[in-house]
Structure 1
Amino acid sequence: MEHLRPVPDGVPEQGASSEPDLGDLLRRSSRGDQAAFATLYDTVSAKVYGLALRVVRDPAQAEEVAQEVFLEIWRTSSRYERERGSALAWMLTITHRRAVDRVRAAESATRRDVVYEQRNQPVSHDSTAEAAQASLEAHRVRSALVTLTPVQRQAVELAYLGGYTHTEVASMLELPVGTAKTRIRDGLIRLRDTLGVGARDEQ
């Protein structure tokens, strides 16, 4: 696969009159059609890179994540099922998962370094308690996300983990803005009920 060259969001391809059928491109890619995969790459690479960058916050890391995503898409394109959602949403879900895994791996490495440095230092009970509480809260949130429906979780993750606006989420999931807002709102209400805390004010 050639080196990824990110394209700024919102810049259309020259000479493109309409978006290709991403689902069809995935189907053809699953049969080994390299031309179809190249078209797929050119069409969605900017969005994949953009989401990865929002999560990992580092251009070089985001580019590596995007390359991993497209390798996974090439290898697993046959698993895409059109009736379960849009092709773009399927690919962005892979992107978000890969990006989050990259962040978690970096955080894990950092924690190992901190533990090593602090091993012979006095333990602060207050900081230990705070760290334990933060870990517990993160676990509760991840557990709560599992209770959402797939479409709710997808919308909430893009909006609140990916940092996208409701309009951007609607575009990525190929939904009316009102539908995207409803999925996000319903997902947040469900998270609130699961966590037993006040709902976050929607912007």
Structure 2
Amino acid sequence: MEQALTFQQELMTRLKARDEQAFATLYRNYSNAFISIIKQIVRDDTELAKDILQDAMVKIWHNIDSYDATKGTLFTWMMNICRNVAIDRTRSKDFKNHSRNQSLDASPDSGDSRSVQPTPELIGVRKMLEDLEPNHREVVDVVYMLGYSHAEAAEILNLPVGTVKTRLRNAIIELRKRYQYL
């Protein structure tokens, strides 16, 4: 645990000093996790996910000085940037027009498997979530794993928005207690 913390502290110091090798290390260690999250949001469109990952990594590079370790882990901060860039892209006019204009050949019935293939197991997220209470895990799944907003999650789960936010906050607090080394 201490070794992981030291690695992250050293990485942060080097990133804030604009060390390009540190950024390469960051990309090498985290890009697969981020691309999985992005693919879930953009419905497994690999090319679009790679494009969004590039935009998110540039945003991380430009905003690294705004990272505050007291508010969460580096991974969580970067994951939220990737998630937000992906959600912003899916809400853009270009994305909506592209989605409407897809040919019928890309429909699920045509054999083109467009289903989401989440891989959070590779980074151990699913295992971590198993420790949560079912109602907390459900909210985390909808918001973070599927990429829905709090309001959308409330609608999907048939809960008030305040309840969704409270459960999400409690789940994050519980995960932080159990996995402080992340």
CA distance in 1, matches of 2:22, 2:137: 33
Please identify the structure whose Cα radius of gyration is greater: 1
Q: Name the amino acid aligned to 2:15.
A: S
Across the aligned residues of Structure 1 and Structure 2, the Cα RMSD in angstroms comes to 3.9
The answer (yes or no) to whether the contact 2:15–2:23 under 8 Å persists in 1 is yes
CA distance in 1, matches of 2:67, 2:117: 25
| TM-score of the pair, normalised by structure 2 | 0.54
CA distance in 2, matches of 1:173, 1:28: 30
Secondary structure of 1:21's match?
helix
CA distance in 1, matches of 2:127, 2:15: 21
The answer (yes or no) to whether the contact 1:23–1:82 under 8 Å persists in 2 is no
Cα distance, 1:164–1:183 mapped onto 2, change above 3 Å: farther
Q: Deviations over 1:87-129 (max 9, x none)?
A: 111111111111111111144435998xxxxxxxxxxxxxxxx
Gaps of 5+ in 2: 102-115, 143-152, 164-182
Matches within 5 A, 1:47-62: 47-56=33-42, 57-62=44-49
* Percentage identity across paired residues of the two chains: 22
Q: How far is the alpha carbon of 1:184 from its aligned partner?
A: 3.5
The one of 4, 26, 41 equivalent to 2:12 is 26
Q: How far is the alpha carbon of 1:177 from its aligned partner?
A: 4.1
Partner of 1:38: 24
- Size of the aligned set, in residue pairs, is 129
- Higher relative contact order structure (alpha carbons within 8 Å, sequence separation ≥ 6): 2
| TM-score of the pair, normalised by structure 1 | 0.50
Q: Deviations over 1:110-163 (max 9, x none)?
A: 5998xxxxxxxxxxxxxxxxxxxxxxxxxxxxxxxxxxxxxxxxxxxxxxxx98
Partner of 1:142: none
